[in-house]
């Protein structure tokens, strides 16, 4: 008969697994960053192209952006200021932070896509003014393709 003895350190195996998980999460965060910038660029371009009125404040377009969230904490946000849209930029960041709290207690990583101005959904729903709709659909379709292995 023979005797089998293990020659490994359980703690080192655990550390290795944790390290690999964190590396994968970092890759996911980078992917979300790239896609978030794509989403923001598409949405903002559409808002500026379809602008049916004189844009005096640039608050609506400055409120469009994203945040990457993990464990209900905003890791980073992206709301580039356009001209004088400081108020819109702040509203976008606050809206993303409020949405991050919805992930409280979760270990998930999430990309929160928002238009923070109060009237964004009103002009989109009632005046057929695309603020984030097409960019959100494109983002969702992109993710579906990715899950199916088509990208």
pLDDT value at residue 25: 92
> Which range of residues forms the domain containing residue 43?
11-147
Name the CA dihedral angle for 19, 24, 29, 35, rounded to a multiple of 10 degrees: 170
Determine, yes or no, domain membership for 6: no
Determine, yes or no, domain membership for 123: yes
Rounded CA separation 100/112 (Å): 7
Number of domains in the chain: 1
- How large is the greatest C-alpha to C-alpha distance in the chain, in angstroms? 88
Determine, yes or no, domain membership for 5: no
Half-sphere exposure of 15 (CA within 13 A, CB side): 5
Helix (H) or strand (E) holding 111: strand 109-115
Determine, yes or no, domain membership for 105: yes
CB atoms within 10 A of CB 9: 10
Determine, yes or no, domain membership for 4: no
> Considering the entire predicted model, what is its pTM?
0.82
Determine, yes or no, domain membership for 71: yes
Determine, yes or no, domain membership for 1: no
Q: What is the mean pLDDT of each run of 10 residues along the chain (151 residues)?
A: 79 94 93 92 84 78 93 92 94 92 76 89 82 84 77 51
pLDDT value at residue 78: 97
Determine, yes or no, domain membership for 140: yes
Query: Average per-residue pLDDT in the chain?
Result: 86
């Amino acid at each position: 008969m023979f005797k089998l003895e293990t020659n490994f350190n359980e703690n080192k195996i655990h550390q290795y697994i944790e390290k690999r998980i964190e590396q994968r999460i970092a890759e996911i965060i980078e992917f979300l960053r790239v896609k978030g910038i794509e989403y923001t660029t598409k949405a903002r371009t559409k808002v500026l192209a379809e602008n049916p009125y004189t844009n005096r404040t640039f608050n609506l377009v400055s409120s469009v952006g994203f945040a990457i969230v993990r464990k209900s904490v905003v890791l980073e946000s992206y709301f580039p200021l356009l001209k004088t849209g400081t108020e819109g930029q702040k509203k976008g960041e606050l809206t993303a932070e409020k949405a991050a709290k919805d992930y409280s207690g979760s270990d998930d990583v999430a990309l929160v896509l928002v238009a923070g101005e109060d009237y964004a959904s009103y002009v989109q729903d009632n005046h057929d003014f695309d603020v984030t709709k097409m960019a959100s659909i494109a983002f969702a379709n992109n993710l579906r393709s990715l899950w199916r292995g088509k990208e």
